[in-house]
Structure 1
Amino acid sequence: MARFSSLALASIVALLASGGCATNNPASWQPPTMAKPSPVQNRLLALPNSGKRIAIAVYGFTDQTGQFKPTDGVQTLSRAVTQGATSILVKALQDAGNRQFFQVIERERLDNVLRERAVIREMRASYLGEKQVNPQALPPLLFAGLLLEGGIIGFDSNVKTGGAGARFLGIGGSSQYREDTVTLYLRAVSVKTGEVLTSVNVRKSIASVALGANAFRYVGFKDLLELEAGVTFNEPDQLAVQQAVEKAVYALIAEGALQDLWCFGTTDDYAATLVRDYVAERESIKAADVKLPMRADGSTISGACRPMTRPTAIAPATGGRPAVPPTAMPRAASGS
């Protein structure tokens, strides 16, 4: 019996050691990989273009919850959600229509852009003797017709919890799950008039699942064997925020098409299908039951572009900047 106990103890120690070696063995490390596109990102990429790209800017899309990461022990200083939501939003805007729907303008780090342009002006004044800005070397900055505002306004932890387990003759298993929720709002503001043109909100759940198994039984008169194993699957908070932001951008584009703020550069049937599918998802009804809105002239808003000028609430994409020869930009970038 003592021999059996020694063999059992040796087997357990070997099992734990092999698990530790597998974790710390450099051969088991995975190289970095490119992030795979989410289903919502694929839908954004598949959107038709807007006929004429809309200049849009984001100054900040921040965490407005102020919450710290929930823990069972000592309070940590880590935030509950990512603080880089602006970068996620900019990427989602670029993905819309495969970079053909919006013309995204840098605003989050505008100070860096202005500082670099000041360096260019100073260097050209010092080494080329320029007393005035050369518009061919340093053209005016592009300005946006639309601003995107909003942020992450809610993070609710332990919205739903539960589990199940069973044990028989000292051998059992259990499962536990937990669900958190992140909520964000996104709105489009006209730079020309200051009007909030459209606003959307998206909610995304974050799931965590834990599976475990254990054994607890006597293998001898005084010899007790206890084994335990488990695995936990946690959906990354950053990935949940990314999918929520991508969904918000998709919803914003569809809402804008419904309100005739912009349009899809495709056929009427395909554009109407996109709009109907969005309304059906929003209202939880069948796409066949969706009735598209009407314009003042009695025509149906299908979402497709028609021969008309851009709505006056949105400034033109070029911002009315003076024409600059194409060769001016490389010269400005090189500082020559």
Structure 2
Amino acid sequence: MPKRIGKYTLEIENDVRILNNAAIVGHKEAEGPLAKYFDKTYSDDKFGESSWEKAESFLQKSAVELALKKADIDASSINYIFAGDLLNQCISSTFGLRALGIPFLGQYGACSTMAQTISMASVFADSFAADRCVAVTSSHFCSAERQFRFPLEYGGQRTPTAQWTVTGSGAAIIQRGGSGVKIKRITIGRITDMGIKDANNMGAAMAPAAAQTILDYFSDTKEKPQNFDLILTGDLGMVGKTLLLELLEKEGLQISRQHNDCGLMIFDINSQDVHAGGSGCGCSGSVFCSYVLQKMKNSELKRVLFIATGALMSPTSAQQGESIPGVAHLIELESE
């Protein structure tokens, strides 16, 4: 069973590991710095489907099927699948995964969903509620733009603080025992709301939540930032990264040497027109399930903190003038 450490952190006690993983992305992501780490890339962002939403469902199903194939197992060996995305009622997940026949638990953590699904799968495995689970998420630039902003045909101007929703999916198979990257601890984030209302400035909305979760983790565990090779946030982008470091420095915590952000890794913000960086569930999902896990499997990274960040807004709340609450969930990982 997970053991509580401090107030917000759980220690995984029964050797829970990531058996295998897969990451699939679209054409813009394939033009970025991490192209060689992705399992599969596509030049057509519709993936042969008739709508953007169906394309995202295809992405998520394909990532799960590829992770299963790499692990040399089939869907019948999975006890539960934890999945979510950005679209209303998580339709990318439900429609994409319905044919697999795996008991399904839908998750919504916005862009923090990769860490949320891994957390849930890890707790299930550690508590013997399951032997093996899948954690998966996805996002698609075109489906997200249609839901949260404007249809692409509108041709609206993007502000400098705006981020580019990643077209991609990441899937990880979590099991108790065996080989693979070990999941050591998880810290579930608290909802943090600093009153940000600009839907084109997700970095500012999410940075306070990331700071709070990181502070909670270090307070609970008494670890030090220098104990880690990488402290990776989800998709804060350039604006959110700057704010995060400032917020932590005010609290006396320096992580700048260890820190990086998925939203700044997946694109080259100097040569690709993504403004402040990448975002979306598929941003941290695809970076974590490709670059990070490959580096850990090769022992190039030994200890990693992965903190996926999410803005808990909806089109309805934005239209009603509500602020944008944020949340961030943390996973501590260790290579074999």
Pick the TM interval, shorter chain: under 0.3
| Higher gyration radius (CA) | 1
Give the TM-score normalised by the residue count of structure 2: 0.22
Q: Which has the higher helix share?
A: 2
Higher relative contact order (CA 8 A, sep 6+): 2
